[in-house]
Structure 1
């Protein structure tokens, strides 16, 4: 055996050891592999660093920037709310509808980010419906992983496949060339949980930790139901001020927002007058809302835009403590113009052992008193910076750039369109990323921060091993060694490719598996007289077949909120892994050869 092959085998073993044991961060491990290859003379310094300028790295960075821009505008939050409204509260329907949508957005955006979009909403629905979150989050997480196979930018592994094909002298795949396989896999995943979910998904055996917002609701016995009523000209509420309506005193209701002329006003102050056409958001129990409607001649209506403004990602509850030596001590909620100045609706004032939830507007506040309030996260964030108050609640939500929605959407669609003009995926999405900056969706600093540099260094650092596998003759040697057993049977070769990639991506990162094995499969299939392109595509697809353990980033993301054990992933993931392998190998065999 040639010394170059022996040295390459040593580096390959070192690579597998570093990524399986995870004794170091993946990017550090990749840099160790890179420097080892240079020291042993398996690659030149120029070859060692060419991975950092590869099209795969540029494409992945571009996709990350575009994903961040779309997230910053809140476009996907709007879409996710719409989907959740369609899905309803039936478990099978909810899982099915959200999984299909999740698979779609993961085809274009980072699957970790797309999965994160739904977690808060699904946790809220779990609390409302009583459906254990453990039975919802796992199928949605799997759909996010599978969705990465719907387009050639859905996952980093497929972007790398194109790079390896180009380096080997083969034509890269177009953006949607993998879509038939990806769609079939998404449908398979949805069907799997629809028919077998009750057998493979965990029951609610583990005590689920309540999200902080639910803890606040339970600990203060808050009624968090919101009803929407319309003020009509013929009703007696028209022209009455909030103070005169005595909502809290007579009806135990809190007016948390109103919609007028298509504008949402949170926590309207006491002198706000009700006028024809306004829609009010009332927090309380349905019977009290009914009494209020009957007394004032108003009716309950769908919330529409106002209901959208009540989403958990935009508003929430907060516990606010009056600091010692605060300037607000000795003043009342009314004196402070609390609603008008802070844009928050006070629900409860707790002082000493006394708790008031109705008539507390004129009660003087003392240092140490707690105000439980409801309102936009932006306003809670502002009051948290006021030296007179201390907010004990974790502030959630993001500040979305609603005015930049059209610009972000245009950049995204433009990137996809450019791939049809003959431009490479890397150039197309780089143009889209630049557009995000030029249109002000992201600042240049935010664009840099949106790139996951650990992933970039991982890809650039481990990329030279593909050069060493080829130049040292290792790929040809292993091809000749194994090829004699697989020659003449395409299906067996494809099955072997799928199994190797599935196993390796479970014990290593999917990127490392792709960089190590795809060049070998390209060389091996070429030596056997098999078209390497579909083999490489299958390898890239099966690098996403990572359901058995929480090694994939999406699985790691949902593990904590779903209180999952490794055994939960094994139980649900085994069947999904087998089906994924069968469908992907079968479709590549039938339609790509």
Structure 2
């Protein structure tokens, strides 16, 4: 084995480890590996960037843009939600309609976008039918993969294979050339899920409360400002409550009125109630030093935090998010969105300590608390998607009709071979 071959295997091995461990964003690992190969002369600079001129890569990029535009219009959400309504209260019929819908959608747009559209609805169904979310989310993922086999643009793999076929001197594949075979594969796959696979899906404990899901009960509680507390006439900022006790003040309740903005600068009064998040030891230390009274032996849950103005919500960091690789502190999340992140759930592990310093990964679930208007604003961010179902409105998107007409036009032009798939996508 010569030196260059050894370097190649070392770079590949390290890249695979970095991908598995999710040490860095995937694009950073890929570009770093490419640069190392250039430095050692294993590939030339021209060969390294040759892929960017590949028509399949350009087509995939164009379809990603179109997929995102389709998601923003909410038209697919509307279709999926209406299809789900036909099932009524029949559990597996509703889930069957959902899986069939996502398979059809993923034959038209990118798989990730198809799953992102339907995931909030899947979570709602899991709660409605008292199922473990994994028993719906895993089949949802499989259904999107099955559906991608039905058309040329259904998955990037089809486009890459089509490019290889063209370079080999064969005629290009048609848009619906393997739809029959793909439909059979999808049908068999969905039948397998319903007859066999659903019995082997992981059946984790059903969690009806987000605070219980994130094991937050020991960390959320109420304290009242006693008559001899040094907090009276002072502010949380001047008393350095957050820095001294590692505690987050979520709300201040005064005379049954809840306050959730500019809490650090609020002048506190006797009998004010503070809803706080922190470790039990820190809360007890705060009780001793600041003369506050603990009010709850039973800990707070979603119902205590959700009201007309504020809510607890779960959001997931989306693939390709600008948050990936950065901490909440680095992106200035609290000031940027006006929301508190109470905990992070990653690969089944709940992270609650110093969450503002944790580097985020795609797929991280964040337990967020704040004003409902701020949560609504967060829905428009492409960096996360909110795990609930929201009212669907098309009129808010000025040009919602454009991607809805462009996608069928691409498929028709490519199917009739007026122009090639790359030109149609562009």
Map 1:1-80 → 2, pairs under 5 A: 10=6, 13-14=9-10, 16-22=12-18, 25-39=25-39, 41=41, 43-80=43-80
- Check whether the contact 1:321–1:391 (CA below 8 A) recurs between aligned residues: yes
Alpha-carbon contact 1:95-1:140 (below 8 Å) kept: no
Alignment of 1:248-397 (within 5 A): 321=260, 372-373=307-308, 391-392=370-371, 395-396=375-376
Per-residue CA distance 1:501-553 (angstroms, 9 max, x = gap): xxxxxxxxxxxxxxxxxxxxxxxxxxxxxxxxxxxxxxxxxxxxxxxxxxxxx
Shift of 1:414: 1.6
Residue from 409, 413, 424 that aligns with 2:408? 413
- What is the distance in 1 between the residues matched to 2:163 and 2:175? 13
Give how far 1:66 is off: 0.6
Name the CA shift for 1:41/1:422 in 2 (closer, same or farther; >3 Å): farther
Task: Report the equivalent of 1:423.
Answer: 419
* C-alpha displacement of 1:410: 1.0
Q: Once the 2 structures are TM-superposed, how far is the Cα of residue 213 of structure 1 from its aligned partner?
A: 13
* Per-residue deviation, 1:44: 3.8
Paired residue for 1:526? none
Q: Give yes or no for contact 2:207–2:213 (8 Å, CA) kept in 1.
A: no
8 A Cα contact 2:91 2:129, kept in partner: no
Query: Counterpart of 1:124 in 2: which secondary structure?
Result: helix
Across the aligned residues of Structure 1 and Structure 2, the Cα RMSD in angstroms comes to: 4.0
Aligned pairs, number: 276
Distance 1:421 1:43 in 2: 36
Is the contact made by 1:95 and 1:139 (CA closer than 8 Å) also made in structure 2? no
Query: 1:442 maps to which residue?
Result: none
1:113-143 deviations in whole A, cap 9, x for unaligned?
2112222222222222323323222111110
Unaligned runs of 5+ in 2: 215-257, 267-294, 296-303, 312-336, 339-368, 381-392
CA distance in 2, matches of 1:199, 1:213: 26
**2:375 match: secondary structure:** coil
Instruction: Give the structure with higher Rg (CA).
Output: 1
Partner deviation per Cα, 1:46-71 (whole Å, 9 max, x = no partner): 33322111111210111111111111
Alpha-carbon distance change, 152 to 19 in structure 1, aligned in 2, over 3 angstroms: farther
Q: 1:173 aligns to what SS in structure 2? A: coil
Flag the 1:176–1:323 CA change in 2: closer, same or farther, 3 A. Answer: same
CA displacement at 1:426 relative to structure 2: 1.4
Partner of 1:152: 152
Match runs of 1:545-584 below 5 Å: none
User: 1:428, CA displacement in angstroms?
Assistant: 0.8
How far 1:190 sits from its partner (Å)? 1.1
Pair 1:106-2:106 in alignment: yes
SS at match of 2:307: strand
Change (3 A) 1:16 1:371: closer
CA distance in structure 2 between the aligned counterparts of 1:102 and 1:427, rounded to whole angstroms = 27
**Cα drift, residue 33 of structure 1:** 4.4
How does 1:237-252 map onto structure 2 within 5 Å? Answer: none
- The residue matched to 1:395 in structure 2 has which SS? helix
Whole-angstrom CA distance in 2 between matches of 1:370 and 1:101: 35
Deviations for 1:354-390, whole angstroms, at most 9, x for unmatched residues?
xxxxxxxxxxxxxxx99922899xxxxxxx97xxxx9
SS class of match (2:48)? helix
Distance in 2 between the 1:14 and 1:162 partners? 31
User: What CA distance in whole angstroms lies between the structure 1 residues aligned with 2:84 and 2:26?
Assistant: 36
Q: Tell me if structure 1 keeps the 8 A contact 2:130–2:206.
A: no
The answer on whether the counterparts of 1:320 and 1:370 sit within 8 Å (CA) in structure 2 is no
Q: Secondary structure at the match of 2:154?
A: coil
The answer as to whether partners of 1:321 and 1:371 remain within 8 angstroms in 2 is no
Report deviation, 1:179.
1.6
Whether the 8 Å CA contact 2:132–2:206 is kept in 1: the answer is no
Cα 1:25/1:370, change in 2 over 3 Å? closer
Please state which structure has a larger fraction of its residues in helix.
1
Query: Is residue 162–residue 172 contact of structure 1 (8 Å, CA) maintained in 2?
Result: yes
Deviation at 1:421, TM superposition (A): 3.4
1-structure distance, mates of 2:126, 2:421: 39
Aligned to 1:560: none
Distance 1:178 1:211 in 2: 44
Return the offset for 1:184: 1.5
The CA distance in 2 between the partners of 1:322 and 1:375, in whole Å, is 11
TM-score under structure 2 length normalisation: 0.55
Q: Aligned partners of 1:198, 1:188: CA distance in 2, in Å?
A: 14
Q: Structure 1's 108 and 43: CA in aligned 2 closer, same or farther, altered over 3 A?
A: same
Over 3 Å counting, the alpha-carbon distance change for 1:407 and 1:44 in structure 2 is same
Distance 2:179 2:168 in 1: 23
2:209 partner SS: coil
- Please say if residues 127 and 208 of structure 2, whose CA atoms lie closer than 8 Å, have aligned partners that are also in contact: no
Partner-residue secondary structure (3-state), 2:176 = coil
CA distance in 1, matches of 2:128, 2:104: 26
Offset, 1:321: 3.8
Residues in 2 aligned to 1:20 and 1:178: alpha-carbon distance in whole angstroms: 32
**Superposed displacement of residue 77, structure 1:** 1.2
* Bigger relative contact order, structure 1 or 2 (CA pairs below 8 A, ≥6 apart): 1
Q: Distance in 1 between matches of 2:11 and 2:108?
A: 30
Distance of aligned partners of 1:40 and 1:198 in 2 relative to their CA distance in 1, 3 Å threshold: closer
